[in-house]
Structure 1
Amino acid sequence: MTALPSKPSAAMRVASAVLRRNGVKRALSDVTLTEQVRARNRAAGPAAPPRAVRASCEIEWTTAEGLPAAVVSPKRTTSVLRPFIYLHGGGYINPITPHHWRLIAALAVENAWTVTVPLYRLAPDGDATDALTRLAALHRSVVRDTGTAPVLGGDSAGGGLALALALHLRDHGQSGPRHLALFAPWLDISLGNPDIAAVDRLDPTLSLPGLRHAGLLWANGRDPRDPEVSPLYGDFGNLCPVTVFAGTHDLLLPDCRVFAREARTKGVDVELYEFPEAFHVFVAGTFLPESRTARRLLARRVDTGG
């Protein structure tokens, strides 16, 4: 049995202090600064998988439903590989980063998963309509090619998109994932939950003005309460098992709690793991003890079908 920590590790405290100093929260506190960061990151483009990731994993680039996609699988395993579709975060406006690749590699190596990583079109060029259409087709192709339903997961915006995709597949009568793995998912682009304000003061990286701006770009005219952009407002009946990870210093935690509560009323098998004083998407800090614990918890949930 893997127990949750009762207090943050020393590494978590150090990492949180570093994040608080590096200016990410300040950039998201102002829409103009958020746009400047978005333009800079867009010009730089998606990060390439770091050397350590390439050392442990085979990475095959392909095109899936018009999107570039990496297929990441462990180099050394005797196990039968199982499919996982991973949707990266970045507020729907920023490309994949080295931290995402490290988490993806850890998931692949530790669990004998073949992880398909589509680089969906970012706002304002892409939006939820485009992403869900393409990703639903990608999900169908993974099921067809592997003969099994994949685990579907993602972090932050990618976690919200993963839940929206699962609801989209169900509502269109299509085969869904076998399990949802959501790392600090962004579930409501309006961020209107009154409980968020108290956590906002503790969160070292996220801030409301920039996030709300990015969410509206992604919605591209849709009502912010449309479940395809804010899956918190969806109907959670007949969903597969869901595992959610969030830190108590993550301003998205209050909406994760709402989701877990509402989904359970629909009979969904949901586990929400809250890590003390952990920052947003702490699981991507793969060196952290908390990340290792979270990855073990996810593996156990997927392997037991819970």
Structure 2
Amino acid sequence: MSPKGAKSATTPFIYLHGGGYINPIIGHHWRLIAALATENSWQVTVPLYRLAPDGDATEALTRLTALHEGVVREARVAPVLGGDSAGGGLALALALRLRDERLTGPRHLALFSPWLDVTLDNPEIPSVERLDPTLAPPGLRHAGLLWANGRDLKDPAVSPLYADPAHLCPTTVFTGTHDIFLPDCRTFAAEAGRRGVDVELYEFPEAFHVFIAATFLPESRHARRLLARRIRGGS
């Protein structure tokens, strides 16, 4: 997706949608993608990866690695790589794979309420779960098992929280305090910072899971401005 009427898009962006690895892209994803494209003259590529149980982490990372390389060849510049929820976890897993295979990685990671650990074993999750209006661990764990399809649930391809984040590109994470993925986002950001990554975690008080996709909200508009500034190289 490119901005309507734009002569050229300045930054390629690969966006991976959420949905617990089992649900397809829906309207609020497209509204967020449109906002990102039109507000910043970004050309956004949206791969519709195969969902579980027909698809899995192994297949998705193989296909997305090839897609990322194709975008780099065509644009002649590294793209921004991002996504929401499960798509955010998949974006991080892809960046780690590109790093480990010594391929050109993204210039920036943009993670919106990312699902970083399909086990949901963080002991701080129960205290946030009672505040989360949409997500609950039992269904998520089942979806994670389907997505792993035989891989260890702590394999970084499935749960990138367990990888060493050293040498990742600059990374921006947005989440809300009423999102059960908040504790894992904090764990990731803290470890990434310790390992020398330029990482910023923005926590929005009382915000729900993937609040940024409610593009009409002031919090969403503020988050999008913060992201654009980070990608442009501002503080």
Q: Give me the TM-score of the superposition, normalised by structure 2.
A: 0.98
Alpha-carbon distance, 1:305 to partner: 6.3
Taking a change above 3 Å as real, the CA distance of residues 158 and 237 of structure 1, as seen in their structure-2 partners, is same
Aligned residues: 235
The separation in 2 between residues aligned to 1:236 and 1:304, in whole angstroms, is 21
Amino acid at match of 2:73: R
The answer to whether the Cα contact below 8 Å between 1:155 and 1:185 also exists between their aligned partners in 2 is yes
The separation in 2 between residues aligned to 1:199 and 1:76, in whole angstroms, is 44
1:277-296 to structure 2, matched below 5 A, reads: 277-296=206-225
The answer to whether the Cα contact below 8 Å between 2:32 and 2:214 also exists between their aligned partners in 1 is yes
Select 2:203's aligned residue among 274, 285, 300: 274
Q: State the secondary structure of the residue aligned to 1:115.
A: strand
What's 1:209 paired with? 138
What's 2:230 paired with? 301
The answer to whether the Cα contact below 8 Å between 2:13 and 2:45 also exists between their aligned partners in 1 is yes
Q: State the secondary structure of the residue aligned to 1:74.
A: coil
The answer to whether the Cα contact below 8 Å between 1:100 and 1:284 also exists between their aligned partners in 2 is yes
Query: Is the aligned partner of 1:152 residue 2:81?
Result: yes
The separation in 2 between residues aligned to 1:280 and 1:80, in whole angstroms, is 29
Q: State the secondary structure of the residue aligned to 2:2.
A: strand
Query: Is the aligned partner of 1:108 residue 2:37?
Result: yes
Stretches of structure 1 lacking an aligned partner (at least 5 in a row): 1-71
Alpha-carbon distance, 1:76 to partner: 3.0
What's 2:178 paired with? 249
The separation in 1 between residues aligned to 2:9 and 2:122, in whole angstroms, is 43
The separation in 2 between residues aligned to 1:235 and 1:174, in whole angstroms, is 17
Amino acid at match of 2:214: G
What's 1:196 paired with? 125
Alpha-carbon distance, 1:173 to partner: 1.1
Alpha-carbon distance, 1:81 to partner: 2.7
Q: State the secondary structure of the residue aligned to 1:90.
A: coil
The separation in 2 between residues aligned to 1:264 and 1:100, in whole angstroms, is 29
List per-residue Cα deviations over 1:233-253 (Å, max 9, x = no partner). 001111000000000000000
List per-residue Cα deviations over 1:201-253 (Å, max 9, x = no partner). 00000001000000010000111100000000001111000000000000000
Taking a change above 3 Å as real, the CA distance of residues 188 and 269 of structure 1, as seen in their structure-2 partners, is same
Q: Find runs of 4+ consecutive structure 1 residues off by over 6 angstroms.
A: none
Alpha-carbon distance, 1:79 to partner: 5.7
The separation in 1 between residues aligned to 2:101 and 2:109, in whole angstroms, is 18
Alpha-carbon distance, 1:78 to partner: 5.4
What's 1:52 paired with? none
Which structure: larger Rg?
1
Select 2:152's aligned residue among 217, 223, 226: 223
The separation in 2 between residues aligned to 1:250 and 1:300, in whole angstroms, is 24
1:32-43 to structure 2, matched below 5 A, reads: none
Amino acid at match of 1:95: P
Percent identical among aligned pairs is: 75
Amino acid at match of 1:243: T
Amino acid at match of 1:219: A
Q: State the secondary structure of the residue aligned to 1:118.
A: coil
Query: Is the aligned partner of 1:264 residue 2:193?
Result: yes
The answer to whether the Cα contact below 8 Å between 1:158 and 1:185 also exists between their aligned partners in 2 is yes
The answer to whether the Cα contact below 8 Å between 2:9 and 2:43 also exists between their aligned partners in 1 is no
Q: State the secondary structure of the residue aligned to 1:153.
A: strand
CA RMSD across the alignment = 0.9
Q: Give me the TM-score of the superposition, normalised by structure 1.
A: 0.76
